[in-house]
């Protein structure tokens, strides 16, 4: 559980996750940027609002300072008014007390009383004081004047002023903001500078005059008089500053100022940084969280996969156990028979009749056991994927005819009827594994024979379906019987290993139970499908659909021009055969008709001939219900003369009936199932009056093995004993070797011709058969090319191939089939002779 | 399909990014306020040839000097709840300023000023101010003083008539100023005063004037009401008149001596300029001859050169600030010295509290 999860980037699942993850990261970055900018903007705005408030405070401060001044002056004024004594000295005292400003008193008509008299043009505040108001005004060059009326009752008696010259203004009234980092100045309504917070010509004050700052202040002033205060950040020569402004209440003045951004943002900047930091941390968490998720996902998927694998393994184990238990039962049964009958035979070997009977039973049990073991091995090899299909060029007609040949014996033995036909087979030549296909079809056929009672009917049909693909053909093989059928429950499980109808033991039908499983596996390997339609008591039909690669996409043109448009007559008691035959004849260019009855055929042939519109070609089935095919042929020949060729169709072998047929007037033969190429071939040959020569099976002279010497190589003594006995029974002389090395020694040491052949077991310790063969072949001795036949418990194609590749000349399977061994030996030694 | 999804995602991201950038733009620099529409809501009539018309003409003249400034006008607006509704609709219509002409609108204007902080309100003769509400008036008393000099110099009978609407600080101080002027040149002349109890009723004014003229041997008449009917009545009787608000000399060519007029144009021009520079402050304006808000029209030929010289001399004293009408000593009608020599009456008092008449005024 704790093993590290390796993330493989080739895994599409991981890639998808990674993609989503990267997108998420991108989104996060975008959000982060947005957040950052927004935070900055919000902070800036907040700081500006703070700046406004600060400006207001400063303005208030200034106002209060002014107010204080005015109030003080007013007090002085009222005192002066009410002094009865020497006003002048009192005023002097006041003046001295505050040396920043100069006190002055003048009459309402403007004439001086104390100090300099100023005109109302210079200082409008004097006029306002004359009218009873406290007022302030500024005169450039003179300074800032505070003027108050000196009241006597409701009336104004004097104007008392205090004038602060320019030089003292910044000290007296300048306000510094932000603990001295900010600079301010007071301006009047026409933006004339009145009070500054520093000496007016200091650099820091001059900042106000910079274009950027001035512009910024202008912007502030556009809203200043409506909102009362304003602030904004602005870039200047000393960096970014916050400009602020506020009106000074009860006056025409306003205050403007600036403060460097850093001062303002000090603590606040940290907030921004904090936000960023938190965000980064979150992003990092998401990032790593993502990785973790991926890892977890993989782990969970892996554990899911593991769980699934465990489940499958368990299921497979269960299946294996079941399989084994079934198999062991199935193996034990024949073994029991063998052991039992052997014991019985040993008890009384002299009772030859009984012993022969027992031996027969032992043999059949042995064979059954052998086929079971072969099936099991086959099954296991298929399941472990060790089997590969060998696609070779095959001819479907040939396959079906071979099938016919193989199964016909069993069919006849049970007095059953077998019909084969082909439907719409346009492409007859394909690439397929002929051996496996045969295996499948043969299995189905033998089951059909097995599970159909005597007298039953088995039909085989091969048809070609539209594949939609020019390179491949889709074929369907149907094996139908009218036997005992299957129950629906069994039909669902028929393709599983060891499935047999529950009643099999009752009906006594033997089988390994693996046949259908193997068949299905092979069909699956071919990429096809197999299914069954069945009804209990009525019969079953197995349907195999499979695609084969075509040898040539083009459908060959099988038209016979001379027969174009001419009539043909098909006679067969099977409607399907008539159907396919007429279809094929039409493809050839004829105009076919058909009949199920032989008598009718004869009648129609005669009538047509008398009409003058006779049938040009006759295709007659050999086995007809009312009249035999040959008899029909005879009668038709009698009716229509010699011109029209008659072909005899048969599912069986010709040689037996050939002579009789020819004598009856038959011109040619064709095998069922009818394939276009074959029908075409038969017709052309007949028209060409070329008698078809069926290749004769070679008459083989029996060979005598007397005087032949073999070297038998096998590491197991018992095997050697049996083999030697069999060989000596067939007049061979036998020498033995226990393993490969001994064999190589003996062969290479022997004189040429001493041994006629070597029977080499393959599985041996020290040096196996293949190695020994190779050693012999490359020995360079005169016996190097001695015929070597492999004997092996492995009966599979690969082994045969391996044997041939090692340099061997033949192959027999163990347990040795004597007839087969003799055949192989005969074949090899005959060539040697 | 997946590719399309990615493209969409990228586009969406760009859109969001762009939107964010735009949203976060610092606010654009704001232009100084552009004045395009001024609403004029007046109690009187624009064609009363008097106070209201003077206002209107002055404003129109001032507005004409500024490019793109239009007036949206409504006169004869009574002082009731219709007033704020009308003002509201004008503001909704786009007026950046509202000009009114009656102190009776004061209360409405206070609440309107609060409701529309971005609109500047100006109320002639108003008494209240706010951040965006200004009240303004001219120191007509200064001109009344000069007119008094003319009247005092002109009268032969030493009986001068004065028709006014109500006794308010405004009318009292103008009356007092007039009387001070009269007494300055003619210590024997008496000013007989009668009230019409109405600012705008012309017939009433005419009736009162008639009664006044019947009661006394008045040969110079002046008035402080909006209608000019008193002047007409006087003119019919051959009594010299001094008009107010508007120069109506062409109506009374024989009898009109001069008129005390307002000259609103400079004031309004200054206010519009302030508005455009976004420098409007709400305060109380009370300007006199120094800024030209009030003036005496050119004297008629009936007035002697001596008198004219005197008038001019007094005017220059007013102009240079060395003198104002109520500089002491001032004695009231009952003989009490109200203002000592060297003293001045405060504006506050003049505006809101003056309730006594000076020596030489006879209230009837």
- Where residue B317 falls among pLDDT bands split at 50, 70, 90? very high
**Which residue, B148, B155, B300, B260, is CA-closest to B216?**
B155
| Cβ contact, residue pair A131, B347, below 8 Å | yes
Q: Which pLDDT score is estimated for A694?
A: 47
Contact predicate A105/A114, CB 8 Å: yes
- Where residue B32 falls among pLDDT bands split at 50, 70, 90? low
User: Do the bridges between strand A183-187 and strand A193-196 make them parallel or antiparallel, or are there none, so unpaired?
Assistant: antiparallel
CA A326 vs CA A451, A514, A522: distances in Å: 22, 11, 22
Given a cut of 70, is residue B27 above it in pLDDT? no
Q: Is B3 on the interface with A (CB under 8 A)?
A: no
Q: Which residue of A lies nearest to B320 if distances are taken between CA atoms?
A: A120
Cα-atom radius of gyration of chain A, to the nearest Å? 60
Given a cut of 90, is residue B163 above it in pLDDT? yes
Q: Is B11 on the interface with A (CB under 8 A)?
A: no
Comparing A116-125, A533-542, B20-29, the range with the smallest average pLDDT is B20-29
Q: How far is B354 from chain A (nearest CA, A)?
A: 11
Contacts of A26 in chain B (CB under 8 A): 13
| Cβ contact, residue pair A155, B346, below 8 Å | yes
CA-to-CA distance for A137 and A186, rounded, in angstroms?
A: 12
Q: How far is B111 from chain A (nearest CA, A)?
A: 17
Contacts of B132 in chain A (CB under 8 A): 226
Contacts of B29 in chain A (CB under 8 A): 215, 219
Burial A353-363 (b: 16+ CB within 10 A, else e): eebeebeebbe
Where do the domains of chain A lie?
66-163, 388-550, 561-687, 709-832
Q: How far is A254 from chain B (nearest CA, A)?
A: 10
Task: State the residue for tokens 């009030």.
Answer: B294
| Cβ contact, residue pair A38, B24, below 8 Å | yes
Q: CB-CB: which of B30, B132, B281 is closest to A222?
A: B30
**Which residue, A695, A676, A17, is CA-closest to A290?**
A17
Q: Which pLDDT score is estimated for A87?
A: 77
Mean pLDDT of chain A: 83
Neighbours of A150 (CB within 10 A): 25
Q: Which residue of B lies nearest to A191 if distances are taken between CA atoms?
A: B279
Q: Note the CATH number of domain A388-550.
A: 3.30.565.10
- Best of A42, A63, A108, A126 to disrupt the B interface (most B CBs within 10 Å) is A108
Chain segment A706-757, per-residue pLDDT in tens? 788 889 998 888 888 888 888 888 888 899 998 888 888 888 888 888 888 8
Do the first three CATH levels of A66-163 and A388-550 match, i.e. the same topology? no
For range A21-39, the mean pLDDT: 81
Contacts of B117 in chain A (CB under 8 A): 226
Given a cut of 80, is residue B89 above it in pLDDT? yes
For range A82-102, the mean pLDDT: 79
- Where residue B309 falls among pLDDT bands split at 50, 70, 90? very high
Q: Which residue of A lies nearest to B27 if distances are taken between CA atoms?
A: A232
Q: Which residue of B lies nearest to A134 if distances are taken between CA atoms?
A: B346
First to last CA, chain A: 72
Q: Which residue of A lies nearest to B291 if distances are taken between CA atoms?
A: A121
Q: Could you tell me which CATH class the domain A561-687 is placed in?
A: alpha beta
For range A261-273, the mean pLDDT: 78
Chain segment A548-572, per-residue pLDDT in tens? 888 876 666 777 777 788 888 898 8
Comparing A392-406, A652-666, B56-70, the range with the smallest average pLDDT is A652-666
Q: Which residue of A lies nearest to B130 if distances are taken between CA atoms?
A: A250
Structure tokens at A36: 């950052």
Q: Which pLDDT score is estimated for B161?
A: 94
Contact predicate A208/A215, CB 8 Å: no
Q: How far is B306 from chain A (nearest CA, A)?
A: 25
Given a cut of 70, is residue A345 above it in pLDDT? yes
How many percent of chain A have pLDDT more than 90? 8
Of A327 and B83, the one with more pLDDT: B83
Contact predicate B46/B99, CB 8 Å: no
Q: Which pLDDT score is estimated for A199?
A: 77
Contacts of B320 in chain A (CB under 8 A): 110, 119
Q: Which residue of B lies nearest to A226 if distances are taken between CA atoms?
A: B118
| Cβ contact, residue pair A109, B327, below 8 Å | yes
Q: Which pLDDT score is estimated for A10?
A: 62
Q: Which pLDDT score is estimated for B29?
A: 47
Chain segment A452-492, per-residue pLDDT in tens? 998 899 999 998 888 778 888 899 999 999 988 888 888 88
Q: CB-CB: which of A44, A155, A221 is closest to B278?
A: A221
Q: Which residue of A lies nearest to B353 if distances are taken between CA atoms?
A: A154
- Where residue A1 falls among pLDDT bands split at 50, 70, 90? very low
| Cβ contact, residue pair B29, A219, below 8 Å | yes
User: Do the bridges between strand A810-813 and strand A788-792 make them parallel or antiparallel, or are there none, so unpaired?
Assistant: parallel
Which of A576-585, A641-650, A705-714, B184-193 has the highest mean predicted lDDT (pLDDT)?
B184-193
Contacts of B278 in chain A (CB under 8 A): 221-226
Q: Which pLDDT score is estimated for B240?
A: 92
Q: Is B30 on the interface with A (CB under 8 A)?
A: yes
- Where residue A511 falls among pLDDT bands split at 50, 70, 90? low
First to last CA, chain B: 101
Task: State the residue for tokens 């004695």.
Answer: B331
What's the complex ipTM? Answer: 0.86
* Cβ contacts of A467-472, under 8 Å, gap ≥ 24: A467/A547, A469/A547, A470/A553, A471/A549, A471/A550, A471/A553, A472/A547, A472/A548, A472/A549, A472/A550
**Which residue, A432, A429, A431, A424, is CA-closest to A478?**
A424
What domains sit in chain B, N to C, each tagged with a CATH number?
Answer: 37-138 (3.40.50.2300), 140-261+292-363 (3.40.50.2300)
Q: Is B172 on the interface with A (CB under 8 A)?
A: no
Structure tokens at A64: 């209060």
Contact predicate A639/A674, CB 8 Å: no
**Which residue, B186, B229, B180, is CA-closest to B208?**
B229
User: Do the bridges between strand B284-287 and strand B133-138 make them parallel or antiparallel, or are there none, so unpaired?
Assistant: parallel
Q: Which pLDDT score is estimated for A209?
A: 80
| Cβ contact, residue pair A154, B324, below 8 Å | no
CA-to-CA distance for A382 and B92, rounded, in angstroms?
A: 94
Burial label for B322, CB within 10 Å (0-12, 13-18, 19+), is: middle
Q: CB-CB: which of A27, A109, A155 is closest to B322?
A: A109
Q: Is the bond into A673 cis (omega within 30 degrees of 0)?
A: yes
| Cβ contact, residue pair B343, A108, below 8 Å | yes
Chain segment A610-637, per-residue pLDDT in tens? 888 888 888 888 888 888 888 888 888 8
Question: Which B residues in the span 257-296 are in contact with A, Cβ-Cβ below 8 Å?
Answer: 274, 278-281
User: Do the bridges between strand A429-432 and strand A539-550 make them parallel or antiparallel, or are there none, so unpaired?
Assistant: antiparallel
Q: Is B332 on the interface with A (CB under 8 A)?
A: no
The dihedral through the CA atoms of A375, A377, A379, A385 has a sign that is negative
Q: Which pLDDT score is estimated for B216?
A: 92
CATH superfamily of A709-832: Response regulator (3.40.50.2300)
Given a cut of 80, is residue B10 above it in pLDDT? no
Chain segment B104-153, per-residue pLDDT in tens? 889 999 999 999 888 899 998 888 888 889 999 889 999 999 999 999 99
Q: CB-CB: which of A26, A131, A226 is closest to B118?
A: A226
Torsion of CA A257, A260, A264, A265, to 10 degrees: 150
Q: How far is A190 from chain B (nearest CA, A)?
A: 9
- Best of B277, B319, B343, B355 to disrupt the A interface (most A CBs within 10 Å) is B343
CA-to-CA distance for A58 and A176, rounded, in angstroms?
A: 8
For range A764-790, the mean pLDDT: 86
For range B325-338, the mean pLDDT: 89
Contacts of A80 (CB under 8 A, 6+ apart): A87, A90, A91, A105, A150, A158, A160
Given a cut of 80, is residue A815 above it in pLDDT? no
How many percent of chain B have pLDDT more than 70? 96
pTM to 2 decimals? 0.56
Given a cut of 80, is residue A693 above it in pLDDT? no
Q: Which alpha helices (H) appear in A384-468, and where do they start and end?
A: 396-413, 434-450
Of A359 and A650, the one with more pLDDT: A359
- Best of B344, B349, B351 to disrupt the A interface (most A CBs within 10 Å) is B344
Of A656 and A72, the one with more pLDDT: A72
Q: Which pLDDT score is estimated for B141?
A: 94
Q: Which pLDDT score is estimated for A503?
A: 46
Q: How far is B295 from chain A (nearest CA, A)?
A: 19
Q: Note the CATH number of domain A66-163.
A: 3.30.450.20
Q: How far is A194 from chain B (nearest CA, A)?
A: 17
| Cβ contact, residue pair B345, A154, below 8 Å | yes
Q: CB-CB: which of B16, B279, B344 is closest to A156?
A: B344
Q: Which pLDDT score is estimated for A702?
A: 58
Contact predicate A45/A292, CB 8 Å: no
Q: Is the bond into B329 cis (omega within 30 degrees of 0)?
A: yes
Q: How far is A8 from chain B (nearest CA, A)?
A: 23
Of A699 and B225, the one with more pLDDT: B225
| Cβ contact, residue pair A38, B9, below 8 Å | no
Contact predicate B192/B155, CB 8 Å: no
Structure tokens at A418: 């077998």
Mean pLDDT of chain B: 87
Contact predicate A636/A647, CB 8 Å: no
Comparing A94-103, A432-441, A583-592, B5-14, the range with the smallest average pLDDT is B5-14
Which one-letter DSSP state was computed for residue B32?
Answer: P
A-B C-beta contacts closer than 8 Å: 107
CA B164 vs CA A568, A597, B190, B226, B364: distances in Å: 144, 148, 16, 9, 11
Chain segment B228-250, per-residue pLDDT in tens? 899 999 999 999 999 988 788 88
Q: How far is A497 from chain B (nearest CA, A)?
A: 46
């Amino acid at each position: 559980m704790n093993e590290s999860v390796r993330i493989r980037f080739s895994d599409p699942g991981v890639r998808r996750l990674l993609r989503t993850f990267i997108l998420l990261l991108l989104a996060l970055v975008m959000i982060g940027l947005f957040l950052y900018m927004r935070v900055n903007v919000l902070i800036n705005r907040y700081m500006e609002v703070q700046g406004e408030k600060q400006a207001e405070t400063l303005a208030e401060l200034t106002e209060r300072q002014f107010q204080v001044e005015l109030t003080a002056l007013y007090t002085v004024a009222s005192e002066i008014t009410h002094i009865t004594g020497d006003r002048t000295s009192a005023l002097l005292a006041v003046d001295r007390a505050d040396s920043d400003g100069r006190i002055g008193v003048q009459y309402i008509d403007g004439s001086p009383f104390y100090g300099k008299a100023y005109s109302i043009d210079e200082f409008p505040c004097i006029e306002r004081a004359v009218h009873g108001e406290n007022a302030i005004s500024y005169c450039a060059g003179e300074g800032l004047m505070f003027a108050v009326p000196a009241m006597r009752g409701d009336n104004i008696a004097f104007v008392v002023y205090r004038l602060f010259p320019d030089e003292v203004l910044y000290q007296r009234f300048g306000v510094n903001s932000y603990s001295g980092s900010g600079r301010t100045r007071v301006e009047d309504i026409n933006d004339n500078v009145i009070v500054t917070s520093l000496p007016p010509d200091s650099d820091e004050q001059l900042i106000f005059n910079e274009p950027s700052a001035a512009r910024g202040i202008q912007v502030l002033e556009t809203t200043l008089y409506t909102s009362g205060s304003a602030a904004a950040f602005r870039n200047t020569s000393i960096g970014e500053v916050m400009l602020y402004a506020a009106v000074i209440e009860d006056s025409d003045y306003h205050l403007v100022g600036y403060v460097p951004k850093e001062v303002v943002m000090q603590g606040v900047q940290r907030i921004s940084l904090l936000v960023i930091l938190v965000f980064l941390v979150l992003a990092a968490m998401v990032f790593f969280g993502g990785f973790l998720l991926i890892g977890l996902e993989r782990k969970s998927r892996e554990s899911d996969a593991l769980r699934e694998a465990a489940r499958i393994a368990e299921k497979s184990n269960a299946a294996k156990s079941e399989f084994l238990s079934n198999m062991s039962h199935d193996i034990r049964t024949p073994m029991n028979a063998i052991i039992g009958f052997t014991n019985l035979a040993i008890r009384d070997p002299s009772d030859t009749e009984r012993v022969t009977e027992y031996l027969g039973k032992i043999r059949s049990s042995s064979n059954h056991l052998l086929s079971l073991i072969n099936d099991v091995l086959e099954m296991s090899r298929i399941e472990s994927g060790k089997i590969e299909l060998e696609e070779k060029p095959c001819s479907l007609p040939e396959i079906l005819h071979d099938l016919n040949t193989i199964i016909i014996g069993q069919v006849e033995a049970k007095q059953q009827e077998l019909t084969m036909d082909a439907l719409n087979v346009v492409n007859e030549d394909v690439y397929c594994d002929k051996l496996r296909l045969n295996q499948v079809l043969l299995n189905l056929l033998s089951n059909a024979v097995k599970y159909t009672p005597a007298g039953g009917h088995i039909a085989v049909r091969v048809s070609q379906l539209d594949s939609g693909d020019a390179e491949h053909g889709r074929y369907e093989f149907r094996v139908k019987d009218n036997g005992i059928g299957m129950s629906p429950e069994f039909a669902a499980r028929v393709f599983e290993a060891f499935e047999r109808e529950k009643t099999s033991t009752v009906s006594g039908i033997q089988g390994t139970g693996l046949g259908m499983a193997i068949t299905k596996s092979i069909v699956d390997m071919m990429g096809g499908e197999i299914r069954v339609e069945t009804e209990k008591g009525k019969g079953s039909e197995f349907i195999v659909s499979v695609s084969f690669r075509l040898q040539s996409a083009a459908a060959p043109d099988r038209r016979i021009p001379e027969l174009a448009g001419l009539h043909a007559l098909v006679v067969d008691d099977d409607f399907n055969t008539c159907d396919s035959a007429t279809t094929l004849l039409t493809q050839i260019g004829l105009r076919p008709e058909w009949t199920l009855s032989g008598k009718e055929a004869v009648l129609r042939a005669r009538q047509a001939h008398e009409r003058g519109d006779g049938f040009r070609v006759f295709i007659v089935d050999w086995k007809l219900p009312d009249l035999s095919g040959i008899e029909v042929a005879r009668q038709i020949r009698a009716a229509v003369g010699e011109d029209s060729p008659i072909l005899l169709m048969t599912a069986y072998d010709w040689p037996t009936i050939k002579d009789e047929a020819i004598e009856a007037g038959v011109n040619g033969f064709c095998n069922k199932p009818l394939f276009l190429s074959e029908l075409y071939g038969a017709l052309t040959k007949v028209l060409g009056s070329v008698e078809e020569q069926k290749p004769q099976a070679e008459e083989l002279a029996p060979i005598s093995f007397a005087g032949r010497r073999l070297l038998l190589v096998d590491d197991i003594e018992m095997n050697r004993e049996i083999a030697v006995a069999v060989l000596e029974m067939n007049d061979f002389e036998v020498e033995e070797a226990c393993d490969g090395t001994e064999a190589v020694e003996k062969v290479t040491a022997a004189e040429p011709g001493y041994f006629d052949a070597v029977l080499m077991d393959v599985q041996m310790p020290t040096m196996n058969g293949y190695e020994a063969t190779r050693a012999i072949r490359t020995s360079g001795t005169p016996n190097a090319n001695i015929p070597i036949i492999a004997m092996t418990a492995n009966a599979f194609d690969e082994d045969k191939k391996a044997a041939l590749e090692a340099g061997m000349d033949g192959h027999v399977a163990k347990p040795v089939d004597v007839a087969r061994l003799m055949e192989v030996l005969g074949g090899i030694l005959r060539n040697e002779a | 399909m997946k590719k399309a999804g990615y493209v969409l995602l990228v586009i969406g991201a760009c859109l969001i990014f762009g939107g964010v950038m735009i949203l976060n733009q610092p606010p654009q620099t704001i232009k100084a306020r552009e004045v395009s529409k001024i609403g004029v809501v007046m109690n009187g009539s624009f064609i009363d040839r008097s106070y209201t018309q003077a206002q209107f003409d002055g404003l129109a003249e001032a507005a004409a000097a500024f490019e793109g400034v239009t007036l949206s006008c409504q006169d004869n607006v009574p002082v009731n709840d219709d007033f704020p509704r009308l003002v509201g609709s004008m503001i909704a219509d786009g007026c950046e300023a509202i000009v009114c002409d009656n102190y009776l609108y004061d209360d409405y204007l206070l609440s309107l000023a609060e409701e529309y902080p971005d609109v500047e309100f100006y109320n002639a003769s108003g008494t209240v101010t706010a951040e965006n509400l200004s009240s303004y008036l001219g120191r007509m008393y200064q001109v009344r003083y000069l007119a008094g000099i003319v009247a005092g110099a002109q009268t032969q009978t030493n009986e001068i008539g004065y028709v006014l609407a109500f006794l308010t600080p405004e009318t009292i101080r103008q009356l007092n100023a007039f009387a001070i002027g009269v007494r300055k040149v003619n210590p024997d002349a008496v000013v007989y005063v009668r009230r019409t109890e109405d600012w705008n009723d012309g017939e009433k004014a005419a009736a009162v004037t008639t009664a006044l003229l019947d009661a006394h041997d008045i040969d110079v008449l002046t008035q402080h009401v909006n209608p000019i009917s008193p002047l007409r009545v006087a003119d019919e009787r051959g009594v010299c008149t001094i008009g107010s608000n508007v120069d109506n000399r062409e109506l009374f060519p024989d009898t009109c001596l001069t008129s005390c007029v307002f000259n609103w144009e400079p004031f309004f021009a200054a206010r519009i300029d302030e508005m455009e520079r976004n420098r409007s402050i709400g305060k109380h304006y009370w300007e006199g001859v120094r800024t030209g808000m009030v003036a005496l029209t050119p004297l008629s030929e009936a007035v002697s050169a001596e008198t004219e010289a005197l008038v001019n001399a007094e005017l220059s004293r007013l102009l240079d600030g060395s003198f104002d009408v109520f500089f002491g000593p001032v004695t009231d009608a009952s003989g009490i010295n109200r203002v000592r020599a060297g003293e001045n009456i405060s504006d506050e008092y003049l505006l809101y509290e003056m309730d006594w008449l000076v020596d030489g005024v006879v209230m009837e």
